[in-house]
Structure 1
Amino acid sequence: MSDVQQAIAQIADIRAQLAASTRFRGYAPEAVGMIGLLSLLVVVMQIVWPGRFAASDWQIAITWGLLLAGGCAAIAIEAIVHTLRENDGMASPMLFSAMRLVLPAFAVSAAVGGAVLTYAPQVTWILPGFWQMMIGFVAFASYSSLPRNIIWPAAWCLLSGAVGLFLAGHHGSLTPLMAGGPIVVGHLAIAWVISDKERIPHGG
């Protein structure tokens, strides 16, 4: 490798490191907050009309799976559109750095959810807690590029997801509040954290 190629490779590495540790502003708090409010509406509907919207664990789980998948897609599209509007040369590397965390987590969540819903519907109670924990995992992994306070919603998502998982396993079934309550709080908390423009990411 020539000196020029080595220099280019080093510059690329530096840009990648900067992108991973710089505040990523592509996530729209409005989109995350709307998912939280929509989740609240779903919880209320499942509690008030359980026969229609929460007739079984399978129905509860697939409802939340579709809502979270749609929400993830909306947030990703908003992030991509925001990046395309930016003239900052760091915007694209920062988006790539963020997507390296989000896309694998989404793929794992979709694969596990699809397999359980298709082949093991008797254990669909495992899914909402698992999905909530995956949200917490992504939030923790994004700590270097998001406001420091993201650690609190991340901790909430991990802990509430784990508690929900054990509660559902203990009862052998899901309830709307057990499945959706932590998701509502988690999304609203994340939206609040990323909406504060004055917060500085770790190391910033």
Structure 2
Amino acid sequence: MSDLHKALGDISNIRRQMAQSTQFRGYGPATLAATGVIALLAASMQSVLLPDPANHVSAYAGIWISTAVLSAALAGVQMYTRTRRMHSGLSDEMICMAVEQFLPAVGAGVLVTIALVRFVPTVVWMLPGLWQVIFSLGIFSSCRFLPRPMIAAGAWYLLTGLVCISFGDSRALDPWTMGLAYGAGQLLVAGILFVATPEGADEN
């Protein structure tokens, strides 16, 4: 029985090593472009419903957290089905690898949001910039199994996040600091995948 367990362990390690050396094709360009459009729609909604976000921090956070959850759910479902199609027998390993790369950034974003909203609401204007910087770190950590030009998307989010932080006040809560950053950023990601990944144009 121990020999069987050892053999199964060896097979698992081989499959994981194969996954680590394979370019991940589970992200679909059209779906990621759709998340960019969702960000632009959220910015439009904020501009109409929340003209003074600095005095309605919970509502502001609610709009953008809901947008993030919706976008993540859309991308997650599509990633699962696309990975099954693109990576076949390695799909489970590829999905786990993709999630492992981005999960620390997601966790950090959640904890930073809770800390600022709950304990230091006076500096909650920093949230858009911090979200974008943290998102850029998630992209950078994922670049090793994505097309090389994806570094440009990480650099975009890092730059926009730093610009938001440099405002130094509630101007950073303007709807378009998030809408344009994520709208353009996700369209950039989609464009890179479409051009750099042969299967990009075949997404269903």
Q: Calculate the TM-score normalised by the size of structure 1.
A: 0.81
**Could you tell which deviates more after superposition, 4-13 or 125-134?**
4-13
CA distance in 1, matches of 2:158, 2:17: 27
Classify 1:181/1:87 alpha carbon distance in 2 versus 1 (closer, same or farther; 3 Å).
Answer: closer
Quote the offset at 1:85 in angstroms.
4.7
Instruction: Determine the structure 2 residue equivalent to 1:184.
Output: 183
CA deviation string 1:114-168 (max 9, x = no partner): 332233332221211111122211111111211111010111111211221222x
Structure 1 alignment gaps of length 5 or more: 200-204
Q: Does 1:55 align with 2:62?
A: no
CA distance in 2, matches of 1:91, 1:84: 5
Q: 1:171 aligns with which of 169, 172, 185?
A: 169
Instruction: Determine the structure 2 residue equivalent to 1:105.
Output: 105
**Could you tell which deviates more after superposition, 53-62 or 35-44?**
53-62
Counterparts in 2 of 1:27-42, with a 5 A limit? 27-42=27-42
Q: Secondary structure at the match of 2:89?
A: coil
CA deviation string 1:77-123 (max 9, x = no partner): 22123334567211211111001122332222122223322333322
Q: Taking every aligned residue pair, what percent have the same amino acid on both sides? A: 31
Quote the offset at 1:36 in angstroms.
0.7
CA distance in 1, matches of 2:106, 2:38: 20
Quote the offset at 1:179 in angstroms.
3.1
CA deviation string 1:162-191 (max 9, x = no partner): 221222xx2244222223321211111011
Q: Which amino acid aligns with 1:156?
A: W
CA contact (8 A) 1:164 1:179 kept: no
CA distance in 1, matches of 2:18, 2:144: 10
- Pairs aligned (count): 194
Instruction: Determine the structure 2 residue equivalent to 1:18.
Output: 18
Counterparts in 2 of 1:59-70, with a 5 A limit? 59-70=59-70
